[in-house]
Amino acid sequence: MTAKLKVDNVSKDFTGRNGKLQALRDIRLDINEGEFLCIVGPSGCGKTTLLNIIAGLENVYKGRVVHNGEFINSTGPDRLVIFQELGLFPWLSVVKNVEFGLKMKKVPQPRRRETALKYLDMVNLLKFKDAHIHELSGGMKQRVALARAFAMDPEVLLMDEPFTALDAQTRDMLHDELQKIWQETGKTIIFVTHNVREAVCLGDKVIVMSSQPGMIKTEFRIDLPRPRHIEDGGVMDMVRPILKELSFEIKKSFEEEYDAKKDN
């Protein structure tokens, strides 16, 4: 397998009140086609920034990102983001939300509806196709967002802590569904989370990032059979070493925040 998405020496600085802050330093990543990559790190380590750069939402940075041999400097329907806040449109019904991206692609109506219904069926929400967004539960909204993203048939799906606000049971169910859809469609997924168990449960590869500057610290390959569940013994065994790496980083970033406050 060749690397489909290549993050090459990407660095990014933010200029804030306390001077320059290196959000990302020399990030190098090779992501293969159909790979499920999870990125974990303490808050403020730049994981969302990295995701935004790959999505093309963030354009000012050093280094380069190459997708299918082309440099990325804008958003494109080949790389779709599922935001933490989802951004479902309250003025549209569920099915029209799923159709939105296809409408932007100028897919004609009968086919648009057909595709949307297919993906709503995939996330088991066919019954709610005419509902409005505010009528859905948190988990159902997540599934609409998944259907909306998959309906556009992107090559890469970028997910930014999408399941953070959900209760544990709903999250477990969505882990199952996401793994199932991923296996059926064979998409490349980059999944950002701060939950190590979630990362091990979902990913082929888990990358631990350090904070300030945001760098890739360690890479773990997860060779466990699928479908995985968060309470599987194998998952738990993999979680421990990653958690150890991460807790060191979390402690470090706490201390840095503490110092920063003391300086003021």
Partner 1 sequence: MRKKIIKQVVFYLCLFGLWQLIVAMKIWPEYVFPSPIQVFGTIITGFSNSTFIVAIGISLKRIAIGYGISILIGGFLGIMMSKFKTVDETLGSLVLGLQTLPSICWLPLALLWFGLNERAIIFVVIMGALFSITTATDSGIKHVSPIYIKAGRNMGARRYTLFLEVIIPAAMPSIISGLKQGWSFAWRSLMAGELLFVNLGLGYLLTVGRELNDMSQVLAVMIIIALISILVDKIVFGKIEANIKRKWGLSAKY
Of 14, 28, 59, 105, the residue at the interface with partner 1 (CB under 8 A) is: 105
143 binds partner 1 (CB under 8 A): no
- Among 27, 55, 201, 230, which residue interacts with partner 1 (rule: CB under 8 A)? 55
- Closest CB to partner 1 among 29 and 86? 86
Q: Three-class SS of residue 102?
A: helix
Q: Is 221 in the site for partner 1 (CB under 8 A)?
A: no
Which residue from 38, 80, 147, 157 is in contact with partner 1, where contact means CB under 8 A? 80
- Residues in contact with 192: Cβ distance below 8 Å, sequence separation at least 6, in sequence order: 38, 39, 40, 47, 48, 50, 51, 158, 159, 160, 161
Residues 55-85 as b/e (b if ≥16 CB within 10 A, e otherwise) read bbbbeebebebebeeeebeeeeeebbbbbee
In whole angstroms, the minimum distance from the beta carbon of 78 to partner 1 comes to: 10
Q: Per CB under 8 A, does 85 bind partner 1?
A: yes
Q: Give yes or no for residue 132 binding partner 1 (CB under 8 A).
A: yes
- Residue 31 CB, nearest approach to partner 1 (Å): 19
Cα 21 to Cα 63, 210, 211, distances in angstroms: 17, 14, 11
Measured from the CB atom, the residue of 7 and 152 that comes closer to partner 1 is: 152
60 SS3 class: coil
Tokens coding 14: 């933010």
As a whole number of angstroms, the distance between CA 192 and CA 177 comes to: 17
91 interacts with partner 1 by CB under 8 A: yes
Q: Which residues bind partner 1 (CB under 8 A)?
A: 55, 57, 75-77, 80-81, 83, 85-92, 100-101, 103-105, 132-135, 148, 152
